[in-house]
Amino acid sequence: SYDAGPYVPEGAGLPELRSAAADCHGCPLYRDATQTVFGAGEPTARLVLVGEEPGDQEDRRGAPFVGPAGRVLDRALVDAGIDPDDAYLTNAVKHFKFAPRGKRRIHKPPTLREAAACRPWLTAELRLIEPEVIVALGATAGKALLGSSFRVTRQRGTRLPWSGEGADTVVATIHPSAVLRADDAEREAAYAGLVADLKVAARALA
């Protein structure tokens, strides 16, 4: 069955994890993706933000949140008063999943099985960074951290107790790409909601 576990070196630091993740074949997503997109940011970050999976640009460039959703996220972090040096960015799933459509690659959400297979990488990142707060961006990250009964609409914007690795608080919010997908009439409110939830995370920092 799918599992990244056997690819995760024991006792490794972040640089060793990153190189090992480059060769992960824990699920079939590595086959079509360009490369593994590991987390990025300061190893001393007090906040770890978890997205869904890399997008088209992240897959090409090898870094998380460097495309359109990343621009929304960066702006929202600034508006929430979060120092970029305090934020480590990563994803629940570390390969881009897509369907080819002509020359374009259309994002496909990972299955729960793929997210579960990739979870050992996130676990290892959280154990090393030991952030104060984890932010789940959207449903995939929320389910990866809190279980399959997680619902963004019900659980966003509040400190959720967490007994897992590193932090003792999770704050969930919408995925920044939901702001991009929103109708013109709703986009501003969606963005304001994202910022408000990120402020809850900022306030949860000791």
Joined together, the tokens standing for residue 131 give: 């952030």
Among residues 17, 46, 65, 178, which is the contact residue for ligand URA, using CB under 6 A?
Answer: 65
- Find the part of the chain contacting ligand URA (CB under 6 A) among 4-12, 61-69, 147-155, 164-172: 61-69
Residues 14 to 43 in contact with ligand URA, rule: CB under 6 A: none
Among residues 49, 53, 124, 200, which is the contact residue for ligand URA, using CB under 6 A?
Answer: 53
Q: How far apart are CA 177 and CA 138, in angstroms?
A: 9
Cα Rg for the chain, rounded, in angstroms?
Answer: 16
Residue matched to tokens 């400190």? 159
> For residues 1 and 135, which CB has a smaller minimum distance to ligand URA in the complex?
135
Where is 94: in which H helix or E strand?
none
> For residues 26 and 64, which CB has a smaller minimum distance to ligand URA in the complex?
64
Q: Is 59 in the site for ligand URA (CB under 6 A)?
A: no
Q: Is 120 in the site for ligand URA (CB under 6 A)?
A: no
Among residues 26, 29, 41, 52, which is the contact residue for ligand URA, using CB under 6 A?
Answer: 52
Tell me whether strands 169-173 and 159-161 are parallel, antiparallel or unpaired.
antiparallel
> For residues 14 and 168, which CB has a smaller minimum distance to ligand URA in the complex?
14
- Find the part of the chain contacting ligand URA (CB under 6 A) among 1-9, 13-21, 64-72, 181-189: 64-72
Q: Is 91 in the site for ligand URA (CB under 6 A)?
A: yes
Q: Is 54 in the site for ligand URA (CB under 6 A)?
A: yes
Joined together, the tokens standing for residue 91 give: 């994803």
Tell me whether strands 98-101 and 104-107 are parallel, antiparallel or unpaired.
antiparallel
Q: How far apart are CA 27 and CA 39, in angstroms?
A: 18
Joined together, the tokens standing for residue 74 give: 């960066």
Burial of 30 (0-12, 13-18, 19+ CB in 10 A): middle
Q: Is 51 in the site for ligand URA (CB under 6 A)?
A: yes
